Structure 1
Amino acid sequence: MSHPTAQEQILDFVRGRYPQAEIDAAQDIFALGFVNSLFAMELVMYVEKTFDVTIPNEELQIDNFRSATAMAGLVARLSPTVAAA
């Protein structure tokens, strides 16, 4: 059995928060209106805890959190041993 990729795990987290929405990995969850300031912080904490990374201040940019794909890319940059997609 294979382990889910970072992108799949992040997408599952976002979908779990908004089960009524059909969200794919490339969609901009900020543009769709799913992210408020509280959920943005939850995303940061989720990524750090789940993938055992520390996100440096210079990486706390909206573009790194717009989609599951972008967040998986961030994880891959911070932890090269984690499969992004």
Structure 2
Amino acid sequence: MTARKKIAKYITELTSELNIDHAMNLFESGNLSSLDVLDLIVYIETTFNITISDDDIGIENIGSIDNMVKFIEKVV
């Protein structure tokens, strides 16, 4: 399964939203709570064996599924 599919599946499980636009800002849309974001960060770190620093946490890296995939590809 690709990184995109893994992340989309996990976010669907977190939010119960079935049709999430991969370019949509998940923070501004209200789809993710602050606890969901923490869960998502732990999921990404564990699944892709990477470390996300405090400086990396932001809309540009984890604001949308597209941004998360780009960030993971850059780090891995």
| Alignment counterpart, residue 22 of structure 1, candidates 1, 8, 19 | 19
Is 1:6 the equivalent of 2:3?
yes
Amino acid at match of 2:24: Q
1:39 matches 2:27: no
Once the 2 structures are TM-superposed, how far is the Cα of residue 43 of structure 1 from its aligned partner? Answer: 1.1
Cα contact 2:15–2:32 (8 A) shared by 1: no
* Residue 61 (structure 2) pairs with residue 58 (structure 1): no
- Following superposition, which runs of at least 4 residues in structure 1 exceed 3 angstroms of deviation? none
Q: Which has the higher contact order (CA 8 A, sep 6+)?
A: 1
Q: Normalising by structure 2, what TM-score? A: 0.86
Number of residues of Structure 1 aligned to a counterpart in Structure 2: 76
Asked if structure 2 preserves the Cα contact closer than 8 Å seen for 1:28 and 1:67, the reply is yes
Unpaired stretches in structure 2, ≥5 consecutive residues = none
Which consecutive residues of structure 1, in runs of 5 or more, have no partner in the other structure?
A: 80-85
1:29 and 1:6 map into 2 onto residues whose CA distance is: 17
For 1:60, the aligned partner's letter is I
Specify the structure having the higher radius of gyration (Cα).
1
Q: Which TM-score applies when normalising by structure 1?
A: 0.78
Which structure carries more helix by proportion? 2
